[in-house]
Structure 1
Amino acid sequence: MIGSDIVNSLGGGSGINSGSLVEELVSLQNAPEAQRLDTRQEKLESQISDYGLLRSALSNLDAAVSAVSSSDTFDAKSVAIPDTSLIALTKLDSSAAAGNYRIKIEEVAQAQSLSSGSYASKDAVIGKGEITLQFGGWNAALDTFTVDPEKTGATITIDDTNNTLSGLRDAINEADIGVQATVIADGSGYKLLVTSPSGATNELQIAVAEDAGSPGLADFSFDETTQNLTQEQEGVDAQIRVNGLLVSRDSNRITDVVEGLEFDIFNKSATEEINIGISADRSIAETAIRDFVEAYNTFLEETKKLTDFDEETGEYGNLKNDALADNLIDQVRNYLGNSVSGLSDGFTQLSNLGIRTERDGSLDIVENPNEPNTNFRAAIDKNFDLVRDLFVPTTESDNSKVKINGYSGRTQAGSYEVVISQDPTQGVFTGDPLGFPVDTTGKDYSFTVAIDGVETASISLPDGVTYNTGEELAAEFQALINLDESLQAANVTVNVAINGSGALEFTSEAYGSDSKVVFGPVGGDFGDLGIAAGSGVTGKDVVGTVNGEQAFGYGNILLPAINTKADGLSMTITPGASNATVNFSRGFAGGLVSLIDTFTRSNGLIKEHVTELNDSLDEIDDDRSELERRTEAYRARLQSQFIAMEQIVSSLNNTGSFLDGILDRLPFTAKK
């Protein structure tokens, strides 16, 4: 101890344990401040912990609210189907229309398959060049092929890197257009088997342009002039009768015959009918609402422990009188008693369907049939659509040409007037009228075209083909252009048709000022088709207002001005829409989800407040460092004072020793 050292160094001193006394004085000096900091730190840490519990309670409530905010909850369906080997259900969506459906399978879909000649090995050399695969349909005689312009094929290059039987197989598979190629050993050699997707219009035409110096690739041709492959089986559509109506599909996976119901078909039957019953399943929504009420009551109970007197612990919660926690709970409780914005009739608040607030703030479901106007059971059984509209966000437009695509957290519930002053249009190039038939033999019908600013490689109509109608030529143009790799990579497509004047018309699938069709260099005979290099008519962006304020238009999408009440709405405008009234409501659940999100999101109010609490904890660390600095200064001052005291005492002790017996030594008082 420093105090003991003082005494030892001075050889005596006062006899006081100065070291112990210094520490006691320092402790007495620091105790109030240290206790204040300890108390403050404990409270802050408890508040941070309790905000974690509050966030958890909100998250549990949010999960229950999210369930009743989903349209799928209220549109849930159940299905009844007998045992059968003909079909298997794969999906029942909430959009399925309730009803009974008699299904009869008259034909299953089949894929076309083509086989090559025999080769000695999988690595046999096959020549070089380009192979173009197109989808469409062959006639029974296999001498006329009709291109399906809505389906995209591929052009494959065969060079030194893949000019073998297995290399061609891999190149076809890697084109990823749904065509399957395999090399099969049939006992006499190896053959390439090419299988298209199933369906009558998914059959293949395979055109080959082989290199003159490396022949052999033409052995895989299968077009209207050369068929060196053998058709093993033709493509066939599935034929299904639904309540007597015959429909055709190119696949055995049926996804759009009965809306919201998907199934696979396996076999056909001339006699068996499958009866499928689809009905609304309201029990899903009822359970979700009951779960929400229970979740809210649990939330209320848990938050009371954090902010009110807890009878279990006999103490007040750490968030008592915390402004943010009180505000959060008040906002949630008040929301439950308010009417839902954007709903003007029907059920507009929870009390309308028999959910009432008790004196303690909890919710109670009224099941009493003697209260017909506020009975939950009656609301579910008799007014289910109104219950749905109360909970689920809704968007409505009184004009089918103004479609609401979505909304954001900024969008406020309400009714908005939309006025269109300029329709969206597509870029289009229109040629001159031409006559038919069109024979490409010996003609240079090559061209390049840019769609929406994306330019194709050079494209040519196939040589030696005769197009007897405008529809045939338009389909060929559309298929060839949409085959281009640059267009496919940019997800750009064009529609080609013959207009009423007998001219080719090329229309971009996109809308707006970026939508355009521009023909670049064209072959010497291309003018015969009524087309010359140049630009067509550029498309226009939609122009309009929402509630009288200028909106932003891009293509056929209209967005309300930023920082307006409608901000966040997204609308698709179809040409011909002059005006519309659109309505938006978040619904009870959607609004509560949005409210909870303002507190719980990553940059929400709880996160901000907890950050402030952590900053206060950091300040306590700084205060402790400052206290320690002051403590050391105080300790040093006391030690200095005690050293001075000991020095004085030591000096006095020496003086006392000197004076001791001085009378015996003085001349007149000395003892004789």
Structure 2
Amino acid sequence: MSGVNMNNLYVGDNGRIQFSGLSSNIDFVNVVDQMMKARRIPADNLEKRIDANDEKVAALRELQDLVKTLQTSIDKLYGKASFDKSTDTFASKQAFVSSADGTAGNLISVSANNNAATGNYKFEISQIASKHKVGSETLAANPTDALSTATNGGGTAIGTGTFSVGTAKGSVQIEVTDTDTLRDVRDKINATTGKSGVQASVVKVADGQSTLILTSTDEGSPNRMTLSDDSGNVLQNMGILKDDGSGTMIINSDQEIDPGNDAQFTMDGVSITRSSNNIDDLVDGLSISLFDAKPGTTINVSIEQNLNTAKTAIVDFVDAYNAVKSFINEKTYVDPANNKAAEGSVLLGDSTAKSVESTLQAIAGGTPFRTTSEDSDISVLAQIGITFKSVADAQADSSENGKYTAGTLILDESKLNDTLINNADEVSELFGFKSVTDNPSLIMTSFTGNTSAASYEFSVTKDADGNITSATYTQDGGDPQNATINGDTLTTADGLKLFYNGGDGKTETGTITTSVGLASSMHFAMKGMLDTENGTLQQGIEAFEKENKSFEKKIDAIDLRITNQREVMMNKFINMEQSLAKFKNIQNSLSELMAAGKKDN
């Protein structure tokens, strides 16, 4: 018995089961499948294009992330304006302390923010600020004994009552009951420390002997404690208060552990007093902490520019730029040996990647925009030790990804160090947006990508009430223009924004000169690339995604058409099979009749 080829089994959309070619010996299922496969070639090609586009989208998203990292590194270099210079990497400062005997670090700590001026100071600390501290006499009681029955050194019971404790922060009243222990009184005081500025502790001197200690939470004479008995004589009986001889109760100096001194020191020979050891109002930008006093010891404090911060920012920029450039090189690589695109060159010919590459390379290889009044010997990255790697050097690079390094930046750290030490201001100008004003009443607060390197000459008028009534300017000697006035803020047509704090009832003039550095240009270029709606990269991604949606619709239409065509053709073959089957049945019947006739004869 011959077997049945189940591969030829066909089930139609209507559930009809048919074996392919039983009558015709033609495997019509395979024939139709091959015909439909040929007709689906356009859809197959579209699916390949979708896969290629998906690879491009993935690569562009990765490039987008790399450009974001580059923008983050540029943010530290492009010269964003701030009143306290906190956004100016090149204004970063560091403080050093020293003394002849080497003890400076044990006496004082100094930190400097970007607003601090470079310079040197001499300190001598004669006294540090302390917290006011008062203790009771040694009482005949354990910390857990009732305070009302405990006695002082003279044998007098402490008793019950109310007393007040406080500082400049405020004052609270504490009640002592018959059953309250020293610990209970301590806890009541500490529960209100936030309001009173007083905290308490209990010390067990020996078995059956304890003392209560009260301390101000803040240092200095303005924060000394105020203590009084309101009813009863609890504090007096504890020895914390005493009669001054005129009937007035005062803090017992014999029990005063620390009077709560102010800090006393000299800076450059000037005597200074502060109530706290943490001082931030002495010199702009400096935070000073006093640890100990050592009269006669001179402490040298030096405030210097922190060039390591600037160097780190520049190194980060080089690394981030190279990550972008080498990624684009990899995704657009053409093997020079055979002039063929590498397998991973999914962005070869892509206009978005090319635009990002050419824009960044043009800026990095260019020069800052300066006005004619600006003068600097540094105009290109090569002068600070940053050069571009040649194609030949990249091809000769035997490292794993060396072939992708053409056009990346090479950093000579030694040259960068030397340039920063000797020409830090010019390095800053090479990278960032800079402004110089000849009138301190005109302060630049922000700028845009459209702001020019130019000389702006302003004339500003305020009325007697302090309102700016007129603000005009010329740019590089051109025609006068009106600045936009918003309170004390002035804005030019190209986005330069200024704060004006000139005198009331008069007109003042001033000139602001600007320059636009490489990092500034690159910052705004990348801002355009990374815009979430209209950015170059986002539009490039969306273009491929839109194209893929169009392809998917075409594929769906092709597949629907093929499905219908397949069903039609299968029905035709099935009908043919059925007709052939009928013919064979008739043929068989005729053959049987003829055979029967011959037999009868």
Which range, TM-score by smaller chain?
Answer: 0.5 to 0.7
Tell me which residue corresponds to 2:199: 181
- Of 332, 335, 340, which residue of structure 2 is paired with 1:307? 332
Question: For the Cα contact (< 8 Å) 1:4–1:18, is it kept in 2?
Answer: no
* CA spacing shift, 1:420–1:205, aligned 2, 3 Å: farther
Alignment of 1:627-638 (within 5 A): 627-638=558-569
Deviation digits for residues 65-102 of structure 1 (CA, Å, limit 9, x no counterpart):
34544633464546363531642435344555444443
- From the superposition, tell whether residues 256 and 626 of structure 1 become closer, same or farther in structure 2 (CA, over 3 Å): same
CA contact (8 A) 1:48 1:610 kept: yes
Partner of 1:551: 485
**Structure 2 letter corresponding to 1:112:** H
Counterpart in the other structure of 2:356 = 328
Which residue, 250, 265, 268 being the options, matches 2:275? Answer: 250
Q: Could you tell me whether the CA contact under 8 Å between 1:240 and 1:246 is conserved in 2?
A: yes
Tell me what 1:596 maps to: 526
**Aligned twin of 1:120:** 147
2:425 to 385, 388, 394: 385
Q: Residue 401 in 1 paired to residue 441 in 2?
A: yes
Contact 1:7 1:646 in 2 (8 A): no
Once the two structures are superposed, residues 575-616 of structure 1 have per-residue CA deviations (whole angstroms, 9 ceiling, x without a partner) of 548444445555322332232233246554424433443444
- C-alpha distance after superposition, 1:413-438 (max 9, x if no partner): 4555665544697xxxxxxxxxxxxx
Aligned mates of 1:180, 1:601 — CA distance in 2: 55
- Residue pair 1:107, 1:239 contacting (<8 A) in 2 also: yes
CA distance in 2, matches of 1:158, 1:195: 16
State the distance in 2 between where 1:107 and 1:365 align. 50
1:537-570 Cα deviation digits (max 9, x unpaired) = xxx77666475144222xxx52648xx4327x36
Question: Which residue identity is paired with 1:109?
Answer: A
* Worse overlay, 349-358 or 191-200: 349-358
SS at match of 1:551: strand
Alignment match, 2:59: 50
State the match for 1:350 in structure 2. Answer: 380
Within the candidate set 15, 18, 23, 1:13 is matched to 23
The Cα offsets for residues 210-230 of structure 1, whole Å up to 9 and x where unpaired, read as 9xxx999999999xx976665
The separation in 1 between residues aligned to 2:96 and 2:117, in whole angstroms, is 11
**Structure 2 matches for 1:519-530, cutoff 5 A?**
none
The one-letter amino acid of 2:342's match is: G
Q: Would the aligned equivalents of 1:306 and 1:318 in 2 still touch at CA under 8 Å?
A: yes
Matches of 1:190 and 1:408 in 2, distance apart? 65
State the distance in 2 between where 1:617 and 1:585 align.
45
- Match of residue 29 from structure 1: 39
Give the superposition deviation at 1:303.
Answer: 1.5
Residue 42 (structure 1) shift: 1.9
Q: 2:221 aligns with which of 192, 200, 203?
A: 200
**Structure 2 CA distance for aligned equivalents of residues 21 and 28 of structure 1:** 11
Cα separation, partners in 2 of 1:252 and 1:9, compared to 1, 3 Å: closer
What does 1:626-665 align with in structure 2 at a 5 Å threshold?
Answer: 626-657=557-588, 660=591
* Equivalent pair of 2:10/2:20 in contact (CA under 8 Å): no
**1:267 partner SS:** coil
Distance 2:457 2:251 in 1: 62
Show CA shifts across 1:301-329 (max 9, x none).
Answer: 33222234255973572112222221111
Give, in angstroms, the shift of residue 51 of structure 1. 1.4
Q: Which of residues 277, 293, 296 is equivalent to 1:268?
A: 293
Give the deviation of 1:47 after TM superposition. 0.6
One-letter code aligned to 1:235:
G
Give 1:398 deviation, angstroms.
3.2
Q: Is the 2:165–2:226 contact (alpha carbons within 8 Å) kept by the matching residues of 1? A: no
Q: 1:81 aligns with which of 93, 98, 121?
A: 98
Matched, 1:318 2:346: yes
Q: Report the Cα offset of residue 237 of structure 1.
A: 2.2
Q: Compared with structure 1, are the counterparts of its residues 581 and 100 closer, same or farther at alpha carbon in structure 2 (3 Å cutoff)?
A: closer
Paired residue type of 2:147: A
Residues 286 and 193 (structure 1 numbering): CA distance in 2 closer, same or farther, change over 3 Å? closer
What do residues 193-249 of structure 1 show as CA deviations (whole Å, max 9, x unaligned)?
2515223344466899x9xxx999999999xx9766657343322222233332222
Relative to structure 1, the CA distance from residue 267 to residue 131 in structure 2 (aligned partners, 3 Å threshold; closer, same or farther) is: closer
Partners of 2:441 and 2:595 lie apart in 1 by 129
SS of match in other structure, 2:349: coil
The corresponding residue for 1:141 is none
1:10/1:52 CA distance change after superposition, 3 Å: closer
Secondary structure of the corresponding residue to residue 241 of structure 1 = strand
| 1:113–1:309 CA distance, 2 compared to 1 (3 A) | same
1:42 and 1:11 map into 2 onto residues whose CA distance is 38
Match of 1:527 in 2: none
**Aligned partner of 1:306: which letter?**
K
Classify 1:390/1:544 alpha carbon distance in 2 versus 1 (closer, same or farther; 3 Å): farther
Deviations 1:321-344 (A, max 9, x none): 222221111111222244434654
Measured in 2, the distance between the counterparts of 1:574 and 1:237 equals 39
> CA contact under 8 A between 1:418 and 1:544: conserved in structure 2?
no
Match of 2:123, SS?
Answer: strand
Q: Work out the CA distance in 2 between the residues paired with 1:78 and 1:194.
A: 33
**What secondary structure sits across from 2:221 in the alignment?**
coil
Contact 2:322/2:409 (8 A) holds in 1: yes
Give, in angstroms, the shift of residue 274 of structure 1.
2.6
1:624-659 superposed Cα distances (whole Å, 9 cap, x missing partner): 443432232122111111122122222333443455
TM-score, structure 2 normalization = 0.67
Query: Closer, same or farther in 2 for the Cα pair 1:107/1:170, shift >3 Å?
Result: closer
- SS of the residue corresponding to residue 147 of structure 2 reads coil
The offset of 1:36, in angstroms, is 1.0
The gaps in structure 1 that reach 5 residues or longer are 135-152, 369-374, 426-539
Query: What residue identity is the alignment partner of 2:199?
Result: A
Which residue is equivalent to 1:104? 124
CA distance in 1, matches of 2:68, 2:235: 66
CA deviation after TM superposition for structure 1 residue 390, in Å: 2.4
Tell me the TM-score normalized by structure 1. 0.61
C-alpha separation in 2, matches of 1:38 and 1:342:
52
**Is 1:412 aligned to residue 429 of structure 2?**
no
Query: Compared with structure 1, are the counterparts of its residues 39 and 639 closer, same or farther at alpha carbon in structure 2 (3 Å cutoff)?
Result: same
Partner of 1:478: none
Indicate the percent of aligned positions where both proteins have the same amino acid. 18
Residue range with higher mean Cα deviation, 190-199 or 640-649: 190-199
Equivalent position amino acid for 1:571 in 2: F
**Residue 237 of structure 1 is aligned with which of 235, 238, 262?**
262
Q: Secondary structure at the match of 2:271?
A: strand
| Structure 2 residue aligned with 1:455 | none
In the aligned structure 2, how far is the partner of 1:670 from the partner of 1:103? 140
Residue type of the alignment partner of 1:29: R
Indicate the SS of the match to 1:646: helix
Q: How far apart are the structure 1 equivalents of 2:542 and 2:161?
A: 70
In 2, are the aligned partners of 1:116 and 1:228 still within 8 Å (CA)? no
- The alpha-carbon distance between structure 1 residues 624 and 192, as it changes in their structure 2 partners (threshold 3 A), is farther
Distance (Å, rounded) in 2 between the aligned partners of 1:104 and 1:28: 94
Q: Which moved more, 1:63-72 or 1:300-309?
A: 63-72
- Residue ranges of structure 2 left out of the alignment (5+ in a row): 1-7, 79-86, 140-145, 149-158, 392-406, 474-481
- Give, as a single letter, the amino acid of the residue that structure 1 aligns with 2:103: T
Q: What amino acid is aligned across from residue 407 of structure 1 in structure 2?
A: S
